[in-house]
Amino acid sequence: KRLEDVPIVRDFLEVFPEDLPGLPPTRPVEFRIDLVPGAAPVARAPYRLAPSEMKELAEQLKELSDKGFIRPSSSPWGAPLRVREEDILKTAFRTRYGHYEFQVMPFGLTNAPAIFMDLMNRVCKPYLDKFMIVFIDDILIYSKDEKEHEEHLKAILELLKK
C-alpha cells in the first residue's frame, strides 16, 4: 500500500516526506557535544576508496551539502536535530573531496539516541502513556477500537506536523 492510499495519512503527507529538503527547524533540543578536558582531534588521512566508491562518496557529499546537512569545513575535528552552533566544528570529517562538518546530528555518535529520545518525548508529551509510547523513532499508538485509533493517529500526526 502507498501512503496516499491510507485516508488519514493522505491528510498528513508532509509528515512523511520522501526526502528531507534542507535543515530542520530550530527546536528546543539541540545536539550538544561535551568533550573531555584536553581532548584533541584525531589526525587521520581519508580512507582509500575504489573509483566506484569515490563516485558514490562524491554524490553523497553533494546531496548532503545541497540540502544544507553538511558544509565545507576547516575544523580540526572529525565527525533531523541541528548541532549547536558552537559544536558544529567538532563534527568535522575529511574526505578526498574536502573537509566537511555536520549541521544536523549524525546518528552513530554516543549520545545521539538519547538526545533524539529527549526531542521525541518533548514533542509527544501531551499523549505519552495516554495512548502512545515512543522509543527513539518508533511510535506505538494503542486504542480501544478503530474509530478511537483514527482520532489518536490524527492527534499524533498534528503534533509531528509542527
How far, in Å, are 54, 107, 126, 146, 158 from residue 92 at the CA level? 19, 14, 37, 48, 35
For range 92-117, the mean pLDDT = 82
- Consecutive H or E run containing 97: none
SS3 helix, strand, coil % of the chain, rounded to 5? 40, 15, 45
- Consecutive H or E run containing 70: strand 70-72
As a whole number, the mean pLDDT across the chain is 82
For range 44-63, the mean pLDDT = 80
User: Which of 37-41, 79-83, 150-154 has maximum average pLDDT?
Assistant: 150-154
46 strand-pairing partners: none
What pLDDT score does 74 carry?
45
What is d(CA 143, CA 10) in angstroms, rounded to the nearest whole number?
21
What residue segments make up the domains of the chain, in order of their start? 3-20+112-161, 31-108
Instruction: For domain 31-108, give the CATH number.
Output: 3.10.10.10
